[in-house]
C-alpha cells in the first residue's frame, strides 16, 4: 500500500512585514528599540515575514482559523470535497486555548464531521509527527485519505507588554532571541491511497524521526523561568509566573549548535541504512531556522563526504520567515508551485527541531 501527497496549500496572515517594520507590529519594549534585533536578523537572513496581529497587538485571525484556511486551500486544489475527508491530523506548538486539543478546534472551523482526529503537540517537527500518523493510518488501510495541517501563531507571545510584565523588566538574550526569528502561518497536505486522477503526485517513500531528548536538556520552551526547572503551573498565581518570566518563549542559544550535529547524524544514519542514495536526491527541502544553520549543515555534510550541491537546496525562509512546524508544509506547497517536476525526481525533506532535539526526515518520489 503506497501513500501519496496529492494536494497542498498554505495560508499566511496579513501583508509581508520587513525588518524595519517588526517593532511597529510587536511594539517597543519599554519604549526602546532593541539592541539585539539587527545582529540576530543578520544571522538568520530573514527579510520578510507575516504576523496575525496588528499594530495594536490585536489578533486578526486565530491559529485554528489559519489552519482551516490552509486546509480549505489544499482541498480546493484536490478532487476530495470536505465531507469526504476521513482523517484530520493537525500539529501546532500551541493552540488558541490550552484545552481541548487543537485538532478539535480546527475540525470545527473546517465544519467537517465523522473524521478520525489526531493532534500532534510539539515544536517544529510536530508537523512531521502529524504527517506520520496520517501516513501510517492509510498504510494500515484504516483510511483512504487524510488531511494534514500544521499551523503556528507565535506573534502573540512577542507583544512588548509580555516582556514588560517581567519583574525589573530585565529581558535576557534567550528570551528576546526568538522575537526576531518566528512568525505566523499554516500549511496543509492531502494524503490519499491512490495518485491524483490527473497531473503528478508525490509518493511518500518513508518518514523517519530520531529523538535525542534522553541526551540533551531543554533548548526551546515556554512555561519555565530563566535558570529554573519550575513549571509555570507551580506558581501561586498566573501573574507571579508572568513576573518571573515563565511565560516567555525561550531559546537556550548555548545548545543550538547541537541541532546541526544531530540533524546531520540522522541524515548519515539513514544513508548508512540504505534508506536513500544521496547521489540520487534531486531536491532538498530543509527547515532550518537561520541562514547560519544552513551553512553549518552543508559544511558538515561536505566533511562527511556526502555533500549535496547547493543548487539542489530549496528554502523560502528569507521571504516567509520561520513558521515553526508549519514551515515544511508551506515550503513544500511553494516549491511545487514554482517548480516543474518530472516523473522519477526525488525530494528529501529534513526538519531538525531544537525543542529537545528531535529530527524528522522524509523521502518523496514524483509519480504520475
Q: Which is nearest to 253 in space by CA: 184, 173, 322?
A: 173
Q: Per-residue confidence at 127, pLDDT binned at 50, 70, 90?
A: very high
Mean pLDDT of the chain: 95
Residue 349: DSSP 8-state:
E
Distance (Å, whole) CA 273 – CA 266: 10
Q: What is the mean pLDDT of residues 9-33?
A: 97
4-11/145-152 β-pairing: unpaired
pLDDT above 80 for 333? yes
What pLDDT band is residue 100 in, cutting at 50, 70 and 90?
A: very high
Q: How many CB atoms lie within 10 A of CB 280?
A: 11
Nearest CA to 124 out of 299, 328, 268 is that of 328
Mean pLDDT value of segment 100-105: 97
From residue 70, alpha-carbon distances to 151, 152, 361 in Å are 9, 12, 22
Dihedral pair phi/psi, residue 121, rounded to 5°: -115, 130
pLDDT category at 296 given cuts 50, 70, 90 is confident
Phi and psi angles of residue 192, each rounded to the nearest 5 degrees, phi first? -140, 165
pLDDT value for 295: 85
pLDDT of residue 73: 98
- 165, 89 in Cβ contact below 8 A? no
Give the residue-averaged pLDDT of 126-135: 98
Of all residues in the chain, the percent with pLDDT exceeding 70 is: 100
* pLDDT category of residue 165 using cuts at 50, 70 and 90: very high
Residue range 181-223, pLDDT digits in tens = 999 999 999 999 999 999 999 999 999 999 999 999 999 999 9
Q: Is the pLDDT of residue 170 over 80?
A: no
Taking residue 14's Cβ as centre, other Cβ atoms within 10 Å add up to 16
DSSP H helices, the chain, are 22-26, 37-44, 63-76, 102-110, 126-139, 160-164, 173-176, 238-243, 258-272, 291-303, 317-320, 327-338
Question: Binning pLDDT at 50, 70 and 90, where does residue 293 land?
Answer: confident
Q: What is the pLDDT of residue 56?
A: 96
Terminal Cα-to-Cα distance of the chain (whole angstroms)? 16
Quote the pTM value: 0.97
Average pLDDT of the residues in 69-89: 97
Whether the bond between 100 and the residue before it is cis, its omega within 30 degrees of 0, is yes
- 161 pLDDT tier (thresholds 50, 70, 90): very high
Per-residue pLDDT reduced to its tens digit, 342-361 = 999 999 999 999 999 999 99
Give pLDDT, residue 362.
98
Distance separating alpha carbons of residues 79 and 368, to the nearest angstrom: 15
pLDDT at 181: 96
SS3 (DSSP) at 223: coil
Quick check: helix, strand or coil at residue 167?
helix
- pLDDT tier for residue 237 given thresholds of 50, 70 and 90: very high
Amino acid at each position: 500500500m503506497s501513500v501519496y501527497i496529492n494536494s497542498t496549500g498554505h495560508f499566511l496572515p496579513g501583508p509581508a512585514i520587513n525588518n524595519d517594520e517588526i517593532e511597529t507590529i510587536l511594539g517597543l519594549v519599554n519604549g526602546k528599540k532593541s539592541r539585539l534585533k539587527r545582529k540576530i536578523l543578520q544571522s538568520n537572513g530573514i527579510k520578510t515575514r507575516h504576523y496575525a496581529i496588528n499594530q495594536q497587538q490585536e489578533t486578526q485571525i486565530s491559529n485554528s482559523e489559519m489552519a482551516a484556511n490552509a486546509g480549505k486551500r489544499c482541498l480546493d486544489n484536490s478532487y476530495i470535497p470536505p465531507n469526504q475527508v476521513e482523517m484530520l491530523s493537525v500539529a501546532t506548538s500551541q493552540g488558541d486555548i490550552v484545552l481541548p486539543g487543537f485538532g478539535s478546534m480546527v475540525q470545527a472551523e473546517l465544519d467537517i464531521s465523522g473524521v478520525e482526529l489526531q493532534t500532534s503537540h510539539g515544536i517544529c517537527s510536530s508537523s512531521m509527527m502529524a504527517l506520520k500518523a496520517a501516513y501510517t493510518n492509510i498504510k494500515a488501510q484504516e483510511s483512504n485519505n487524510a488531511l494534514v495541517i500544521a499551523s503556528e501563531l507565535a506573534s502573540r507571545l512577542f507583544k512588548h507588554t509580555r516582556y514588560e510584565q517581567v519583574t525589573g523588566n530585565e529581558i535576557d538574550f534567550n528570551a528576546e532571541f526568538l522575537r526576531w526569528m518566528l512568525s505566523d502561518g499554516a500549511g496543509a497536505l492531502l494524503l490519499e491511497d491512490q495518485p491524483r486522477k490527473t497531473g503528478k503526485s508525490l509518493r511518500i517513500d518513508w518518514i523517519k524521526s530520531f529523538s535525542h531528548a534522553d541526551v540533551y536538556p531543554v533548548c526551546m520552551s515556554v512555561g519555565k523561568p530563566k535558570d529554573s526547572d519550575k513549571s509555570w503551573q507551580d506558581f501561586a498565581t498566573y501573574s507571579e509566573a508572568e513576573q518571573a518570566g515563565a511565560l516567555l518563549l525561550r531559546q537556550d542559544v548555548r545548545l543550538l549548535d547541537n541541532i546541526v550535529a544531530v540533524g546531520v547524524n540522522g541524515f548519515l544514519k539513514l544513508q548508512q541504512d540504505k534508506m536513500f542514495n544521496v547521489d540520487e536526491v534531486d531536491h532538498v527541502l530543509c527547515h532550518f531556522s537561520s541562514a547560519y544553520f544552513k551553512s553549518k549543515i552543508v559544511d558538515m555534510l561536505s566533511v562527511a563526504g556526502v555533500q549535496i550541491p547547493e543548487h539542489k537546496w530549496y528554502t523560502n525562509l528569507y521571504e516567509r520567515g520561520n513558521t515553526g512546524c508549519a514551515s515544511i508544509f508551506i515550503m513544500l506547497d511553494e516549491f511545487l508551485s514554482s517548480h516543474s517536476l518530472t516523473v522519477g525526481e526525488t525530494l528529501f525533506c529534513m526538519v531538525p527541531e531544537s525543542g529537545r532535539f528531535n529530527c524528522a526526515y522524509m523521502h518523496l518520489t514524483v509519480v504520475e
